[in-house]
Amino acid sequence: MKAIVVYESIYGNTRAIAEAIAEGLGGAEVRSVPDAAAQREPADLLVVGGPTHMHGLATTQSRQAAIAGAQEDGHTHIEPSAGEEPGLRAWLRDLEHVDHLRAAAFDTRFDRAPWVTGVAARGIGRRLHRRGYDVISNESFLVEESEGPLKDGELERARAWGEELARLCSEDPPFRLRP
């Protein structure tokens, strides 16, 4: 099974989760959104994730505000691709339509109730479904503060979720979530 994990990350938390998911999948390829936009190729499983901003997917404005705020606060690490275009929202909009390839969605979000923080994975999953993907799972991974770090145990949970995705992809007929 060929799997690709595509992520958008500002502070590195979502990238770390993407890398852990890829490990759980048995060594899937990991790409930032700008890299994925430049290298389009089919996969048996597409796993897509990003941070939750203002109750959903990041926008160009929310990404730029997060980067500017982190720089003002003296945050030591901002991902090199954080300000690059396309962002995740635009990449999903321009994703080619497929016929029933499998996908999964994930996000990173502040450790509060979903009705307080929002859940970007839901929006990612809906957009993938509109592009013809069978979304088999979605998951949220938690950060301590808006800029991180990840809560204890989240990388292990991401690896385990990657293993679960591999198992779900091996089922016949394939498992599917409702959109």
CATH of the domain at 72: 3.40.50.360
Lowest-confidence region among 6-10, 64-68, 119-123, 125-129: 64-68
Q: Residues 126-153: what's their mean pLDDT? A: 94
Q: Which residue has the higher pLDDT, 40 or 31?
A: 31
In a domain, 7, yes or no: yes
Q: Which residue has the higher pLDDT, 80 or 70?
A: 80
Question: 171: burial class by Cβ within 10 Å (0-12, 13-18, 19+)?
Answer: exposed
Report the pLDDT value the prediction gives residue 177, as an integer from 0 to 100: 55
Q: Which domain holds residue 146?
A: 3-170
Q: Structurally, how many domains does the chain consist of? A: 1
Report the pLDDT value the prediction gives residue 71, as an integer from 0 to 100: 77
Q: Please check the confidence at residue 178 and state whether its pLDDT lies above 50.
A: no
Instruction: Please write the tens of the pLDDT for every residue from 102-117.
Output: 999 999 999 888 888 8
In a domain, 179, yes or no: no
In a domain, 76, yes or no: yes
* Cα dihedral 30→35→40→44 (10° resolution): 10
Report the pLDDT value the prediction gives residue 27, as an integer from 0 to 100: 94
Report the pLDDT value the prediction gives residue 37, as an integer from 0 to 100: 93
Mean pLDDT for the chain overall: 90
In 28-116, which ranges are E strands?
Answer: 29-32, 45-53, 56-57, 102-110
In a domain, 135, yes or no: yes
Question: 132: burial class by Cβ within 10 Å (0-12, 13-18, 19+)?
Answer: middle
In a domain, 177, yes or no: no
Report the pLDDT value the prediction gives residue 18, as an integer from 0 to 100: 98
Q: Residues 78-100: what's their mean pLDDT? A: 91
Place of tokens 């909009």: 93
The share of the chain scoring above pLDDT 70, in percent, equals 94
Q: Please check the confidence at residue 41 and state whether its pLDDT lies above 70.
A: yes
What DSSP character marks residue 92? H
